A and B are shown apart, each in its own frame.
Chain A
């Protein structure tokens, strides 16, 4: 807590005056390099470490998705590249390989990309900068939260190469398929490593969330009241609370499943359960128990995967609409409402699981009601754009597409919430469409908005706008080609997770549509080459950005780009909320949170 204390002395006293940059330490090449860039305790370096790691896994997850799409479009045909790598049947994909692919696609995207890129990368990088702190409250814990990701990377990565391959019981890992070693090839070592990897991701998230909560509560700059926090910080704060309360349940459930698999307990298997002629450990348990515990975490996790993106998008949209956020407090309350309701809706994943149908009714009502705060947020975003002066930058286009796509993802959720309709569309491509609209078309687009927006702060240079827009247009078109069509596929009842559905009379005419979707998916992944080149090129050769290239209000834009250790070269003092754009009578169309109200007040603030 040393940092917190030092910051609170800054708050109270004389340090309000401008303080010089810290002197550069003497060069000690190797140790210096290790402690600055590898085992760094600086939140910005840790944030970038998270960013680079998760972007790399994003690529892997995307390629896994392409392999999945290949099999759905042209089942049992030779897979290019990958087929030679994993040649099992002369370049053709084996069905157990297919189950592994979609299991690991979801696992990688959820646990190694979305959650760590939002909380780990952007949470780390932005929280101290946006609240005016010099670092996180617990820098060492923060470093550990990144380094606990590495065992997870290794466990998940290694699981591809063990006997039987990686986990293949779906990312939901339902027992007894996941607990009985004989149930599937991937239910051997692959599943054990999966559970260990999940635990490590959990440790990392928990260390992060404790840190974020403490930092946001204790280390805000003078004048930064809770209701002057940018939406990004509110979202990160509530996400951290969600993590802290939901995650222990998943960790415990993970250990229970691990025990079922390794030391012969029977939490999740009924008495005498035989799978593939092998007895499942002791028995005496209940498969549904795992589903309850898993979704008790994983439903709030859905909000962990979208709330930070909502926050970041709100900040980006206000900046490029040059307009205050419409309904700041309703926006905060609706995030809190989503988080609160998020704990009592997990049963909607289990409407047809064999859970008592009477329970389905209560979960249906709470699920319907959670659509409400999402609707309120959407209306307020529309209100923010209304009457603005919209600048179509790449970051803004991605932020706008977040809203446009989140409308689709939000509305399609209502179909599943309606229990009788869910009977038909449960486990079909309708749900696949729904969560890809929320997580890819929503969160991933929000993340791109955030990357284009905060890139200048991260690296001191801006990304190329032309190629940024090209990246946006192609991604936007291809993603809709891939995912929108999934809705009508779901309307036919086309089930997910089938290696080949065309032998069914009901589905055999759907292959051409699936081939179209796969072409779009290939286009979508290929478009990311533009992003990758733009990203790395701009890092080194992009135009120098200066402190505030977007003429935005947030505290982070008052710091140098990129900020040095300790972030601010002066003690930031906050005078207003973060959304004071186009204030009548002001000499410019933005008023930074640090801009003193007037000269007299400035003099007062500067006085010792």
Chain B
């Protein structure tokens, strides 16, 4: 059934899967279609974990797809002579290909626990740097005022324009006013859903200055695509200057602090 030509062509088609698959991943970084620049202190461990899994799965991918090609090539009924091998399995092989992957997977699971704990569980002991509140379709930011505490009348309110100092622990209190959002900073390897009714801590430390995207990564309605913000990472000096200019701007339009006591 089927000519040798069909078998050869089909085998090569299946060989093309690992060849082009590996090629795609090899070429992608040259076109900048790859992990975006990382400017966080914890991002390197996430990226290296990604690369580690990529290499590990890449090896399994090439071996299994390669074997599939080789078996199709070699055991094509139009080419191989004699009857098929009459065998129902092999106990040793079954044990081997159960135990070895089990060990590898368990190793992977345990290996990454520390990174996860660092990023999501070991929250720095400090007062929140600011509060970020998701809302259809913008990021509302609330910085503490000159008194340094959140939730007082001199708090600073901004939209979509997040500034943080470089090389310092940043602790964000993440909230949502309406539906689910997800606070995604691709260059800082940060992503956390904002859930109405919950106050979720998010922390990171930026290692380089620059301006980067804030993306909403959880469907929040028709305008989800445009729920964009910008994070500006700057030196402590620039950050202080920016903060001061914002305070000054706010105070210029504000009555004396005593008159706003009702705000809290």
* A177-B180, A376-B94, A387-B85 given; A423·B217 CB < 8 A: no
Cross-chain contact A414 with B108 (CB below 8 angstroms): yes
Cross-chain contact A169 with B219 (CB below 8 angstroms): yes
B residues 154-194 with Cβ under 8 Å of A? 177-180, 182, 184, 186-187, 189-194
Q: How far is the CA of A275 from the CA of B200 in the complex (A)?
A: 20
Cross-chain contact B108 with A393 (CB below 8 angstroms): no
Chain A positions within 8 Å of B75 at CB level: 321, 385-390
Residue of A nearest to B98 (CB): A376
Min distance, Cβ A82 to any Cβ of chain B, angstroms: 18
Residue of A329, A385, A424 contacting most chain B CB atoms (<10 Å)? A424
Min distance, Cβ A36 to any Cβ of chain B, angstroms: 35
Cross-chain contact B215 with A372 (CB below 8 angstroms): no
Chain A positions within 8 Å of B24 at CB level: 484-485, 487-488
* A169-B219, A418-B108, A420-B45 given; A385·B72 CB < 8 A: yes
Cross-chain contact A354 with B192 (CB below 8 angstroms): yes
Chain B, interface size category, equals 35 or more
Interface 1/0s, chain A 573-584, versus B by CB < 8 A?
000000101111
Cross-chain contact B196 with A499 (CB below 8 angstroms): no
Q: Does residue A150 face the partner (Cβ distance < 8 Å to B)?
A: no
Min distance, Cβ B140 to any Cβ of chain A, angstroms: 14
Q: How far is the CA of A208 from the CA of B133 in the complex (A)?
A: 46
* A322-B84, A411-B61, A497-B224 given; A328·B32 CB < 8 A: no
Q: Which of A52-60, A502-510, A518-526, A528-536 contacts B (4 or more CB under 8 A)?
A: A502-510
Chain B positions within 8 Å of A415 at CB level: 50, 53-54, 57
* A275-B179, A582-B84 given; A404·B222 CB < 8 A: no
* A183-B178, A423-B191, A476-B13 given; A506·B46 CB < 8 A: no
* A383-B90, A503-B226 given; A271·B197 CB < 8 A: yes
Cross-chain contact B220 with A177 (CB below 8 angstroms): yes
Cross-chain contact A328 with B1 (CB below 8 angstroms): no
B residues 9-23 with Cβ under 8 Å of A? 10, 13-14, 17, 20-21
Interface 1/0s, chain B 81-120, versus A by CB < 8 A?
0011111111001100110011001101100110111011
Chain A positions within 8 Å of B193 at CB level: 352-354
Q: Does residue A287 face the partner (Cβ distance < 8 Å to B)?
A: yes
Q: Does residue B124 face the partner (Cβ distance < 8 Å to A)?
A: no
Residue of B nearest to A102 (CB): B219
Interface 1/0s, chain B 53-77, versus A by CB < 8 A?
1101100110011011001100111
* A184-B222, A421-B53, A473-B13 given; A364·B197 CB < 8 A: no
Min distance, Cβ B6 to any Cβ of chain A, angstroms: 5
* A183-B179, A420-B116 given; A276·B136 CB < 8 A: yes
Q: How far is the CA of A411 from the CA of B108 in the complex (A)?
A: 13
Cross-chain contact A492 with B36 (CB below 8 angstroms): yes
Q: How far is the CA of A286 from the CA of B198 in the complex (A)?
A: 9
Residue of A nearest to B102 (CB): A372
Cross-chain contact B46 with A421 (CB below 8 angstroms): yes
Q: How far is the CA of A130 from the CA of B77 in the complex (A)?
A: 27
* A423-B190, A488-B33 given; A480·B86 CB < 8 A: no
Query: Among B17, B49, B68, B187, which residue has its beta carbon within 8 angstroms of that of A506?
Result: B187
Chain B positions within 8 Å of A275 at CB level: 136, 178-179
Cross-chain contact B17 with A375 (CB below 8 angstroms): no
Q: Does residue B35 face the partner (Cβ distance < 8 Å to A)?
A: yes
Min distance, Cβ B205 to any Cβ of chain A, angstroms: 15
Q: How far is the CA of A460 from the CA of B130 in the complex (A)?
A: 70
Residue of A nearest to B197 (CB): A270
Q: Which of A211-219, A297-305, A355-363 contacts B (4 or more CB under 8 A)?
A: A355-363
Cross-chain contact A583 with B186 (CB below 8 angstroms): no
Cross-chain contact B222 with A95 (CB below 8 angstroms): yes
Cross-chain contact B89 with A327 (CB below 8 angstroms): yes
Query: Among B25, B53, B120, which residue has its beta carbon within 8 angstroms of that of A360?
Result: B120
Cross-chain contact A484 with B21 (CB below 8 angstroms): yes
Chain B positions within 8 Å of A513 at CB level: 33
Chain A positions within 8 Å of B121 at CB level: 357-358
Q: How far is the CA of A94 from the CA of B2 in the complex (A)?
A: 50
Q: How far is the CA of A51 from the CA of B256 in the complex (A)?
A: 74
Q: How far is the CA of A408 from the CA of B62 in the complex (A)?
A: 10
Cross-chain contact B10 with A392 (CB below 8 angstroms): yes
B residues 204-227 with Cβ under 8 Å of A? 212-213, 215-226
Chain A positions within 8 Å of B220 at CB level: 177
Q: Does residue A593 face the partner (Cβ distance < 8 Å to B)?
A: no
* A372-B105, A581-B84 given; A177·B219 CB < 8 A: yes
Chain B positions within 8 Å of A387 at CB level: 75, 84-85, 87
Chain A positions within 8 Å of B77 at CB level: 322, 389-391
Chain A positions within 8 Å of B222 at CB level: 94-96, 99, 168, 184-185
A residues 443-492 with Cβ under 8 Å of B? 469, 473, 476-477, 480, 484-485, 487-489, 491-492
Residue of B nearest to A397 (CB): B10
* A177-B220, A275-B179 given; A361·B113 CB < 8 A: yes
Cross-chain contact A273 with B197 (CB below 8 angstroms): yes
Cross-chain contact B213 with A324 (CB below 8 angstroms): no
Q: Does residue A548 face the partner (Cβ distance < 8 Å to B)?
A: no
Interface 1/0s, chain A 131-166, versus B by CB < 8 A?
000000000000000000000000000000000000
Query: Could you list 10 further interchain pairs (A-B, Cβ under 8 angstroms) beyond the known A354-B193, A388-B84, A426-B217?
Result: A95-B224, A95-B226, A99-B221, A177-B219, A326-B89, A354-B194, A387-B84, A388-B75, A488-B25, A584-B86
Residue numbers of B with Cβ under 8 A of A are: 1-2, 6-7, 10, 13-14, 17, 20-21, 24-25, 28, 32-36, 45-46, 49-50, 53-54, 56-57, 60-61, 64-65, 67-68, 71-72, 75-77, 80, 83-90, 93-94, 97-98, 101-102, 105-106, 108-109, 112-113, 115-117, 119-121, 136, 177-180, 182, 184, 186-187, 189-198, 200, 212-213, 215-226, 228
A-B pairs, 4 with minimum CB distance: A270-B197, A387-B85, A96-B222, A327-B89
24 A-B pairs with CB atoms under 8 Å apart are: A95-B226, A170-B219, A174-B180, A177-B180, A275-B178, A288-B195, A321-B75, A321-B84, A330-B94, A352-B182, A352-B191, A365-B109, A372-B105, A382-B67, A400-B10, A407-B61, A420-B45, A427-B191, A484-B20, A495-B184, A503-B228, A505-B212, A506-B187, A581-B86
Residue numbers of A with Cβ under 8 A of B are: 94-96, 99, 168-170, 174, 176-177, 180, 183-185, 269-271, 273-276, 286-288, 321-330, 352-354, 357-358, 360-361, 364-365, 368-369, 371-372, 375-376, 378-380, 382-383, 385-393, 397, 400-401, 403-404, 407-408, 411-412, 414-415, 417-421, 423-428, 469, 473, 476-477, 480, 484-485, 487-489, 491-493, 495, 497-501, 503-506, 509-510, 513, 579, 581-584, 589
